[in-house]
Amino acid sequence: MNKLVFKKVNSLSFAKEIYEISIDPVSLKFSKNTKKFSFSSHLKWLKKIISSKKNNIFLFKKHRKIIGFIILKKKIKFYYLSWAINPKLRGFSYGKKMLRSFIKRHPRKYIAEIKDNNYISKKLCLKCGFKFLKKRKKYNVYSTN
């Protein structure tokens, strides 16, 4: 399997891998919640996402390695997207491949709120068809469609 594949997470079988990516210092620095959190609180959060009808998490893999994940939060007229890449695999264009393939497979209106100092994700949004919408406090808001 040479292709980048993704699947909706509907069990806790990848909880540890998602946790490891989430608590990476760079992931935390650019997340809305910048404080380190415990694995037990992560499990509670992941269970909530999995059981939700409005929120989902999608895991991306290549050669059985976890590349990263996308979190999808449904709002009334659009979906919020956020993502994280495995720290060991950053810098290999996986973020762009992951985001593009997800948007292509699930074409909807998406919003991404990117911290002002997260230059890589801001650039990634533009490369994946997002347009700058507005600045809100310390975030830049990007939108598709």
| Overall number of domains in the chain | 1
Strands 79-85 and 110-115: parallel
pLDDT band per the 50, 70, 90 thresholds, residue 133 = very high
Write the CATH number for 119: 3.40.630.30
Round to whole Å and give the CA distance between 113 and 140. Answer: 6
Domain that holds residue 115: 5-143
pLDDT band per the 50, 70, 90 thresholds, residue 79 = very high
pLDDT for 17-50, tens place per residue?
Answer: 999 999 999 999 999 889 999 999 999 999 999 9
